[in-house]
Amino acid sequence: EAQVTQNPRYLITVTGKKLTVTCSQNMNHEYMSWYRQDPGLGLRQIYYSMNVEVTDKGDVPEGYKVSRKEKRNFPLILESPSPNQTSLYFCASRTGTGGWNEKLFFGSGTQLSVL
C-alpha cells in the first residue's frame, strides 16, 4: 500500500532533549516535506527536499534540521526542543516530477509536546 509513515505518533519530551521524528515513503517520490500545524495557523511548511542531499527551508525552519540521505527517508530533527515547538507535525511526499495532478501524500501525524 502506498503510504507515508511517521513515527512516533505521540511524543512527550522535555526542553533541550534532542529528538528525531522519522518519516518514510514507499512511493519512490522525489519530493518530501515537513509541516507543523497549530490551532488557528493552519499548516506551515518547515523544510522540504527535492531529492537526495537537496533540502531547503520552508516558512518556519528555525529550530529544526532535516536530512535526506536516502530517497525514502526524511527525518525531522529537533536539536534542542523548546515549548513553542509543541505542535502536530506532518510529513508529506509527492512525485516531484511536476505537472498535472502532482499531489501531496501526508503521513498520519506526530503530536509533539515539549515540557
Partner 1 sequence: LAKTTQPISMDSYEGQEVNITCSHNNIATNDYITWYQQFPSQGPRFIIQGYKTKVTNEVASLFIPADRKSSTLSLPRVSLSDTAVYYCLVGDIGVKAAGNKLTFGGGTRVLVKP
* Minimum distance of partner 1 from residue 80's CB (angstroms): 25
Neighbours of 64 (CB within 10 A): 20
What is residue 39's DSSP assignment?
T
Q: Is 88 in the site for partner 1 (CB under 8 A)?
A: yes
Instruction: State residue 90 phi and psi, 5-degree precision.
Output: -125, 135
Q: 106 - beta bridge partners?
A: 92
Is residue 32 close enough to count as binding partner 1 by CB under 8 A? no
Asked if 69 interacts with partner 1 (CB under 8 A), we say no
Shortest spacing between CB 77 and partner 1, in angstroms: 20
Q: CB-based contacts of 39: which residues, under 8 Å, 6+ apart?
A: none
State the Cα–Cα distance between residues 24 and 8, nearest whole angstrom: 12
| 8/16 with CB nearer partner 1 | 8
Contact footprint for partner 1 (CB under 8 A): 4, 30-31, 33, 35, 40-45, 48, 50, 56, 58-59, 88, 90, 92, 94, 96-109, 111
